[in-house]
């Protein structure tokens, strides 16, 4: 199994990236990548050009989106969650989530909507911007656990707590808290369902 970037935003994520999909796919082919993922922020505009460019370059496309989700614990606050389509149902749900975000006055969709559209999706935390990570950075381990358990209830084993260590000072502060809390989360609430 080879390395795959699962969290990539393109120029379709306005003011967040300048990655050109055709150039990116051609560069990935030159590097012998066999799979790429797209996770633009709240939009699916790049999904078809991405799919087409990947297919033209012999690369398997993984279509996803970084979606802003309204917090169940903080009114009027939305946090991002990365969603990847496992199948056609997941892709259709991504389209519905994107449309809902673009047409609602709130900064994201409500958790009950995410629950309704969770079938066919894989979800993982996006890094420092995520609700779990923000709670951990504030030292609120109980809130971080509540949010993690909520997402685990929605997605089951398709929810992944994504920890990345890129050397950022904030991440270094967050990581020991996560690893310390991880034992409790795994032992109490995160055991795989057989």
- For residue 115, the domain's CATH number is 3.20.20.140
Structural domain of 90: 65-188
The enclosing H or E element of 79 equals strand 78-85
Residue 59 lies in a domain: no
Residue 40 lies in a domain: no
Give the pairing of strands 78-85 and 121-124.
antiparallel
Q: pLDDT tens, 117-155? A: 999 999 999 988 899 999 988 999 999 999 999 999 999
Residue 56 lies in a domain: no
Residue 56 has pLDDT above 70, yes or no: yes
pTM: 0.84
Number of domains into which the chain is organized: 1
Report CA-CA distances (Å) from 47 to 16, 150, 167, 177.
Answer: 17, 28, 31, 36
Residue 43 lies in a domain: no
Residue 98 lies in a domain: yes
Residue 48 lies in a domain: no
Residue 91 has pLDDT above 70, yes or no: yes
CB 108 within 8 A of CB 78: yes
Report CA-CA distances (Å) from 182 to 106, 121, 141.
Answer: 32, 23, 10
Q: What are phi and psi of 142, to 5 degrees?
A: -65, -45
The residue whose two tokens read 């999706």 is 121
Residue 121 lies in a domain: yes
Residue 187 has pLDDT above 80, yes or no: no
Residue 20 lies in a domain: no
């Amino acid at each position: 199994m080879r390395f795959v970037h699962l969290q990539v935003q393109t120029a379709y994520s306005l003011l967040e990236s300048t990655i050109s999909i055709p150039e990116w796919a051609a560069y990935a082919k030159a590097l012998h990548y066999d799979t790429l993922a797209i996770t633009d922020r709240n939009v699916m505009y790049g999904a078809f050009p991405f799919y087409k460019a990947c297919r033209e370059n012999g690369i398997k496309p993984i279509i996803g989106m970084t979606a802003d989700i309204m917090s169940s614990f903080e009114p009027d606050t939305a946090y991002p969650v990365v969603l990847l389509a496992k199948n056609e149902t997941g892709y259709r749900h991504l389209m519905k989530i994107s449309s809902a975000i673009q047409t609602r006055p709130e900064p994201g969709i409500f958790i009950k909507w995410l629950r309704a559209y969770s079938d066919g999706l894989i979800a993982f935390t996006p890094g420092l911007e995520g609700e779990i990570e923000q709670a951990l950075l504030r030292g609120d381990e109980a809130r971080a656990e509540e949010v993690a358990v909520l997402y685990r209830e929605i997605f089951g084993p398709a929810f992944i707590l994504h920890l990345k260590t890129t050397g950022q000072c904030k991440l270094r502060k967050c990581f020991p808290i996560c690893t310390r809390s991880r034992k409790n989360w795994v032992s109490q609430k995160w055991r795989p369902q057989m």
